[in-house]
Structure 1
Amino acid sequence: MKAKFTVLIVLAIVLILAFLFVDAGGNWDYIIPRRLKKILAIVLTGGAIAYSTMVFQTITNNRILTPSILGLDSLYMFIQTLVIFFFGSTNLTMANKNINFLISVGLMVVFSAILYKLLFKREGQNIYFLLLIGLIFGTLFQSMSSFMEVLIDPNEFLTIQDRMFASFNNVNSEILLISVIAMLILALYSARFAKYLDVLSLGKDHAVNLGLDYDYVVKRMLVVVAILVSIATALVGPITFLGLLVANVTQQMFKTYSHKVLLSGSILISIVALIGGQLVVERVFTFSTTISVIINFIGGVYFIYLLLKENKSW
């Protein structure tokens, strides 16, 4: 297991160095700071998606579910489309990335909090009811976004189209600073609940029998998941299948139930996948596509494989 971690760490370092110095052309003062911002954005995004997906799959006890089923990706696109539809792409909310980031994250967290409040308010409701409601709202937001996109000015639609796909280009350093602070606070907060994840993976009945306050822990971990997904989505855009791909590859590579190992491994794999994918986008495809297209394609194929594999096991 240590050897696997060593390989992942070395691979991540090699890819980071390749990303920083390949085709730099000697213009270090201009290129290196810009690429460092991209690296930081990739690490933050990869860490947030990997951690949130592993925790979410532990809570739901399902390997093919990701936090995107809660509808947060669709809500992000709905917020962007709504602002442009009514106010245009030149208004302060869209022009100022900091304001846009804070509004997007804030609304997604508020939506998640309301969703959880309604779920846990009643006794007897299980986690799958939350997933069903999230799926319905996600479809609603997606449909409303599509409706407004049809009516919107074609020039304004180009702005929305840019936000449909994750991009690490032109990352705003001030947004990165806010994201780093938020994720450090979340890391400190969620550390106290990390020890319960191994028990949660046994299922609700076993966790309760072992003395765990199930609803208390799940509520707080779901809030952490929602904030992490909101930050990752607002920072670079939606990457639907990254979490699914990373979580399942991690479980295949590290055949253990220890979440200390799984969380660390998933974060490293996510960083390697994102940096490798961005290198391919920039050096092979010369920016003719986006990293989200590549990851969603690979993740979609892997998702179909998982469904067929589960179907055979039944």
Structure 2
Amino acid sequence: MVERRLFFLIGLLVVACGLFLFWNLRSPMGFILSLRFTKIAALCVVGAAIGTATVLFQTIASNRMLTPGIVGFDALFVFIQTALVLTLGSVGFAALPSLAQFGMETAILVIAAVALFSVLLRNGAEDILRLVLTGVILGVLLRGLAGLAQRMLDPSEFSIVQQATFATFGAVDETQLAVAAVILGASLFGALKIARYLDVVALGRNVALPLGVDYDRVAFMALGLVALLVATSTALVGPITFLGLLASSLAHAVLPSWRHTQLLPAAAVIGATILVSGQFVFERLLGLQSTLTVVVEFVGGVLFLFLVLRRSKP
């Protein structure tokens, strides 16, 4: 039953990719297909990375309402972009080698995430409230600093910051995409290698330790993968905070399973399907541009509020 549902999800993704690639295809076909393939690859990589990272994060946090993006990834990304434009100017920012910028942003986000997530390992899942509060406070601080810096920019530089900090799939560098795809593949492989231990870790620290599972080691490995996946996807296209919550919630709803060998691929496939099908609807059917991320964030935010309100009921 579970395997059939997982294959069905993969089939939906294949259909969505086929529609995106070949819908209303005209000459020159080779050039158009190359552009569409780059975009669809970026959509799949980012969706799969965020979906996988969210399942891992929720397992360690023992809370299905949380997503790693809620702890301030977007604010740090905006701060980095603003600082670069402020210090280098619009010409210097545009002259930055794209791969070097991508690597630097990924490294900063990974280091910051590992430093923040390590708070969770002190007392296990009991520290999740402190982790979230710390992330939210740091996010507010970084947004304030970024807002102050943006007031010092001239209008042309401010427009560059706005363009750089909004998630977009229209101009993804192929070299960066290739690096991100390799990181995603390695991270998914690593996540599946520790999946059987995650099944036990999901029961909590007090249960995992007597069963012979090194809770701290598995949690550190999982959080390291979360940091790598979210940092890579954010540096590639920009922040998408609530996509992971949608993918994870749908994965748990579609698959009646607690096994991470099934949940992780399902969340990855669903995350990719949401982005590909959503981009197809807005770009191919409605003729709109740069709208998908706004809708995903809105729907994900509504889902987050629903989960919070449902959990708060007596």
Give the TM-score band, short-chain normalised: over 0.9
Aligned amino acid, residue 305 of structure 1: F
Of 183-192 and 218-227, the range deviating more from structure 2: 183-192
Aligned amino acid, residue 259 of structure 1: H
CA separation in 2, counterparts of 1:170 and 1:275?
Answer: 16
Q: How far is 1:94 from its partner?
A: 6.0
In the alignment of these two chains, the number of paired residues is: 313
Q: Deviations over 1:45-95 (max 9, x none)?
A: 111101100010011111111001232221111101110112113215764
User: Could you say if the C-alpha distance between residues 310 and 151 of structure 1 is closer, same or farther in structure 2, counting changes exceeding 3 Å?
Assistant: same
Under a length normalisation based on structure 1, what TM-score does the superposition of the two structures give? 0.92
Q: Write out the 4+ residue segments of structure 1 that deviate beyond 6 Å after TM superposition.
A: 121-125
CA separation in 2, counterparts of 1:308 and 1:83?
Answer: 39
1:42-61, aligned counterparts within 5 Å? 42-61=43-62
Aligned amino acid, residue 164 of structure 2: R
Tell me, which stretches of 5 or more residues in structure 1 are unaligned? none
CA separation in 2, counterparts of 1:190 and 1:139?
Answer: 31
- Tell me the residue number matched to 1:168: 169
Of 179-188 and 78-87, the range deviating more from structure 2: 179-188
Aligned amino acid, residue 228 of structure 1: L
Q: Secondary structure at the match of 1:260?
A: helix
Conservation of the 8 A alpha-carbon contact between 1:89 and 1:95: no
Taking only aligned residues, the RMSD between alpha carbons, in angstroms, comes to 2.1
Aligned amino acid, residue 187 of structure 2: L
Q: How far is 1:151 from its partner?
A: 2.4
Q: Deviations over 1:231-285 (max 9, x none)?
A: 0111111111101111111111112211111112111111110001111221244
Q: Deviations over 1:185-234 (max 9, x none)?
A: 33343343222111111111111121211111111211110110000111
User: Could you say if the C-alpha distance between residues 119 and 65 of structure 1 is closer, same or farther in structure 2, counting changes exceeding 3 Å?
Assistant: closer
Q: How far is 1:43 from its partner?
A: 1.3
- Tell me the residue number matched to 1:104: 105
- Tell me the residue number matched to 1:141: 142
Q: Secondary structure at the match of 2:213?
A: coil
- Tell me the residue number matched to 1:150: 151
- Tell me the residue number matched to 1:66: 67
1:272-287, aligned counterparts within 5 Å? 272-287=273-288
Of 235-244 and 160-169, the range deviating more from structure 2: 160-169
Tell me, which stretches of 5 or more residues in structure 2 are unaligned? none
Of 112-121 and 183-192, the range deviating more from structure 2: 112-121
Between the aligned residues of both structures, percent identity stands at 35
Under a length normalisation based on structure 2, what TM-score does the superposition of the two structures give? 0.92
Q: Secondary structure at the match of 1:64?
A: coil
Are 1:239 and 2:249 matched, yes or no?
A: no
Q: Secondary structure at the match of 1:151?
A: coil
Q: How far is 1:124 from its partner?
A: 11
Aligned amino acid, residue 13 of structure 2: A
- Tell me the residue number matched to 1:299: 300
Q: How far is 1:96 from its partner?
A: 2.5
- Tell me the residue number matched to 2:41: 40
CA separation in 1, counterparts of 2:290 and 2:173?
Answer: 21
Aligned amino acid, residue 205 of structure 1: N
User: Could you say if the C-alpha distance between residues 223 and 8 of structure 1 is closer, same or farther in structure 2, counting changes exceeding 3 Å?
Assistant: same
User: Could you say if the C-alpha distance between residues 187 and 288 of structure 1 is closer, same or farther in structure 2, counting changes exceeding 3 Å?
Assistant: closer
Of 135-144 and 98-107, the range deviating more from structure 2: 135-144
Conservation of the 8 A alpha-carbon contact between 1:83 and 1:94: no
User: Could you say if the C-alpha distance between residues 162 and 94 of structure 1 is closer, same or farther in structure 2, counting changes exceeding 3 Å?
Assistant: farther
1:1-314, aligned counterparts within 5 Å? 1-91=2-92, 95-116=96-117, 120=121, 126-312=127-313, 314=314
User: Could you say if the C-alpha distance between residues 182 and 79 of structure 1 is closer, same or farther in structure 2, counting changes exceeding 3 Å?
Assistant: same
Of 181-190 and 286-295, the range deviating more from structure 2: 181-190
CA separation in 1, counterparts of 2:103 and 2:133?
Answer: 27
CA separation in 2, counterparts of 1:124 and 1:185?
Answer: 26
User: Could you say if the C-alpha distance between residues 60 and 294 of structure 1 is closer, same or farther in structure 2, counting changes exceeding 3 Å?
Assistant: same
Q: Secondary structure at the match of 2:91?
A: coil
Of 181-190 and 157-166, the range deviating more from structure 2: 181-190
CA separation in 2, counterparts of 1:125 and 1:65?
Answer: 14
Conservation of the 8 A alpha-carbon contact between 1:85 and 1:152: yes
User: Could you say if the C-alpha distance between residues 57 and 85 of structure 1 is closer, same or farther in structure 2, counting changes exceeding 3 Å?
Assistant: same
CA separation in 1, counterparts of 2:261 and 2:11?
Answer: 20
Conservation of the 8 A alpha-carbon contact between 1:5 and 1:265: yes
Q: Secondary structure at the match of 1:85?
A: helix
CA separation in 1, counterparts of 2:3 and 2:125?
Answer: 43
